[in-house]
Structure 1
């Protein structure tokens, strides 16, 4: 019998209080049609209700997927559909953030790599144990994984400190899902699922395995664009016996990302050799920061004498991809995106997780093994606050709940970390004039503070692990040492006392070799990096 059924028949299987695992990295692999139809059923009948959602990342974007459902919940003033959720990142989902902030549902958050590990652990009946999160806000001795008071009270999901052979680890856990809502491109009548037109693989297979594992194997419903009599055997990502129902979706609920309906270069069907980076409207000084970060990557290529693989975080670090591409060194400095793509042009904001013309795409659990194990060579991540010892708060504020995203795993595993961001925050006017930094109006918000609001990167543990850590801004470059932050470089045009030290809540160590930043990063011209890396690799 064919597993391709009407959406109503498939959703009949979902009951009150079910734990539902949902795939999705922003809108990539998000089964939006299934989610909206499930909520439509609830509005009509009052059931199913009190659902608990667990995800590998975020099956939403602004006004899409679960964020749209959260918006409807507020408009209807009815919060009985979702009892709670564990989501790893809420940064592009304002209505889901509001559910957490206002304590309307239980809200928990694992790092993305820990969530993907947890799904595979459920599938193999083993606990999800890792060192990721020790000494940070995720540590139960600090805040733990709890995003609001309801979560702290009920503890449906948990994180515990455990000891193995005298070493500390964290154990992360949530209830085993009974239902899996996943997404692929095409399925045959037996349920064999391909991902041929998806931008990423995400954790679709891992979620399916977790739902189907003993004890109490559950039910998996797959959303697809096409139902076919047969599919190519080698294209099958999830075997048919693991899928119970297949539902075809209208195209408008099955987009490759938030803004891309279908682009063959995104799913790897074609590779565009002359693809152009998006024209991001970024300030000159932000481009300068990215150029300085890329110089550090080039130095690493010179030191190692080979191409390197790196990760770039959201925000200013992502601008480094533009520099790497424009300098023609993308074959030597290969960027990765935490959702799975290697190489290509990574997109940002609500389209983050998708890349144009990637050279490879890995399933997300495998991608995060690369990060946690330090298999990549370096990472550049953003920062919101930095403390005297080098601790980093990546994105947390009292009035904003974003979740950890991929930051804790990448910061834990990468052997080299180049944190990158503006020196101050707030309304500011900073420009590059004649190769010098001009601070016309500085930001009023201090980012180098005595005590960061939350710790996402623990500098003491980083030093013990032997990490190379730098903090790169438009006016100053610091290096992490056992004495704390050491000021090593300053931008031409700045006054060190007035523009750097006076804008910090603590005094860094001043290097005996303090020097100006390389003026090449302040010029509006190519830096000639291709010749440098080619020479380094031919040595």
Structure 2
């Protein structure tokens, strides 16, 4: 049973060369105090050293504890604290990215959902995760296998290998079993039962604890909490990690137990207070981001009308994350059940380093269970951002030379969703593109081409998507493309846009052209509501 101890008593039990699983979706359930004290103990005693971290996606935010630790070890040429890391989103830690890019530690990356399932599979004695996610992408063992640097390619501590089962192709993701787990909750009772009532999510904390405690080498679990309750006072259904799976409980100071990066505590995020059903929102300014978000929403409204019911969706970071606010502005938020990778259903998802938290969710489930909704196609649709698209419909959302944000949840969501709306600006770089009088005015276009002959890294494979029967479109402020077996087809063009000058001349390849190119709906480019609420009600009568 978990014992409530001073932090050093718990850290003393961690041996050198440990594999440490650490919870944390950005700062949601991130045990920052445990990480801080682990590193301080190393600096004072030289131990534990040569640790390997398994984090999902990353337990930090800009200037957070983990990022500060990475800065220190980056500037210490003799550091032997960290030997490597398996991380699904290193984007919030510039110094972690530097350590990986300069080959100072082993760097591996997997999708968020796959890493979540890894802890569950290891806990039940399996070698790793068997999945189709990643086939034909940079995660595939026949491409980069998720290796982020040469040191990882040499050590191969984490692997992604193609395998065959009954004549069908899968990938097997394997990594070392953790012997230590750092997890976080809100409350522990006197024997170590852990609850999460003030957290914005509970992610993988149970599975991480189970993975660390499982055979053949049963390890230790250390839980960070903010308060202690009497044994018997916690409701059994509120306990997320039972006491027999916890060895030590540490009470953290308030500054190392924030609900998210910029929020110490908001009861609406943890679902303790549900905000009004129809929150008042200021009208969002009409610009190209709003045009793109509106076009995504129009596509989703089409799905609602086709299915005759509200739909379950995932909205990725970037422009897609703004769709929920547009839906609220239009009064149709009740027809669009949004989900966030960390576990929330509904509410208004926060962005930036607070991503993972939602204001007023109606349910919060584990991260592994949430990703089952994505991988299994339980959701009806997803909208995800893109950085590059090629002639085959392959998508690279974030990876470029010298840039290492990681795949996040993108590979699983894009693989499993039956309908995908990739969305983003048509070009990148410094631009002056305006929405005026129902038209798109390109005063100065971006100099960076995003529709390229070949994406730098394939993170979504268009051929695999078509084979799975996915419906895929690509939405920009000036054009909409559809993915077909012949490649990308230009289907829609914004009002006043010249196809040759503003679209084809700004692509590295020539797409197929629909026999009848439609004009993007005028209402996308006009101020005021698009009257979607009336449209849906009429269709669903």
Alignment TM class, shorter chain as reference: over 0.9
CA contact (8 A) 2:184 2:224 kept: yes
CA contact (8 A) 1:63 1:71 kept: no
Q: 1:239 to 1:383 in 2, by over 3 A?
A: same
Hey, what does 2:237 align to over in structure 1?
234
Hey, what does 1:121 align to over in structure 2?
121
Hey, what does 1:7 align to over in structure 2?
7
Comparing 519-528 with 229-238, which one deviates more in the overlay?
Answer: 229-238
Distance 1:79 1:323 in 2: 49
- The SS at the match of 2:288 is helix
Distance 1:363 1:194 in 2: 13
Hey, what does 2:294 align to over in structure 1?
291
Hey, what does 1:92 align to over in structure 2?
92
CA RMSD of aligned residues (A): 1.4
- The SS at the match of 2:99 is helix
1:509 aligns with 2:512: yes
Distance 2:238 2:373 in 1: 24
1:448 to 446, 451, 462: 451
Hey, what does 1:491 align to over in structure 2?
494
Distance 1:161 1:475 in 2: 40
* Aligned pairs (5 A) from 1:7-406: 7-126=7-126, 127-230=128-231, 231-273=234-276, 275=279, 284-406=287-409
CA contact (8 A) 2:286 2:527 kept: no
CA contact (8 A) 1:22 1:59 kept: yes
- The SS at the match of 1:331 is helix
- The SS at the match of 2:490 is strand
CA contact (8 A) 1:343 1:359 kept: yes
Distance 1:65 1:344 in 2: 28
Give 1:423 deviation, angstroms: 0.2
Give 1:449 deviation, angstroms: 0.5
Give 1:354 deviation, angstroms: 0.5
Distance 1:2 1:474 in 2: 55
CA contact (8 A) 1:30 1:65 kept: no
Distance 2:422 2:369 in 1: 24
Distance 2:150 2:282 in 1: 41
Give 1:233 deviation, angstroms: 2.1
Distance 1:228 1:64 in 2: 28
Superimposed CA distance per residue, residues 160-182 of structure 1 (whole angstroms, 9 cap, x where no aligned partner): 11111111110001111000000
CA contact (8 A) 2:56 2:89 kept: no
Distance 2:538 2:7 in 1: 59
Contiguous gaps of at least 5 residues in structure 2: none
CA contact (8 A) 1:27 1:65 kept: no
CA contact (8 A) 1:312 1:320 kept: yes
Give 1:276 deviation, angstroms: 5.6
1:518 aligns with 2:521: yes
Distance 1:327 1:292 in 2: 13
2:434 to 431, 434, 439: 431
CA contact (8 A) 1:301 1:536 kept: no
- The SS at the match of 1:430 is strand
Superimposed CA distance per residue, residues 106-135 of structure 1 (whole angstroms, 9 cap, x where no aligned partner): 000110010011101001112310000000
- The SS at the match of 2:370 is helix
Distance 2:129 2:152 in 1: 20
- The SS at the match of 2:41 is helix
- The SS at the match of 1:439 is strand
CA contact (8 A) 1:277 1:345 kept: no
Give 1:46 deviation, angstroms: 1.4
Q: 1:278 to 1:414 in 2, by over 3 A?
A: farther
Hey, what does 2:530 align to over in structure 1?
527
Distance 1:15 1:217 in 2: 13
Distance 1:329 1:187 in 2: 40
TM-score normalised by the chain length of structure 1? 0.98
- The SS at the match of 2:69 is helix
Tell me how many residue pairs correspond in the alignment: 537
Distance 2:174 2:282 in 1: 39
Distance 1:185 1:468 in 2: 42
CA contact (8 A) 2:31 2:257 kept: yes
Give 1:232 deviation, angstroms: 2.3
Distance 1:294 1:464 in 2: 26
CA contact (8 A) 1:477 1:488 kept: yes
TM-score normalised by the chain length of structure 2? 0.97
CA contact (8 A) 1:21 1:177 kept: yes
CA contact (8 A) 1:378 1:416 kept: yes
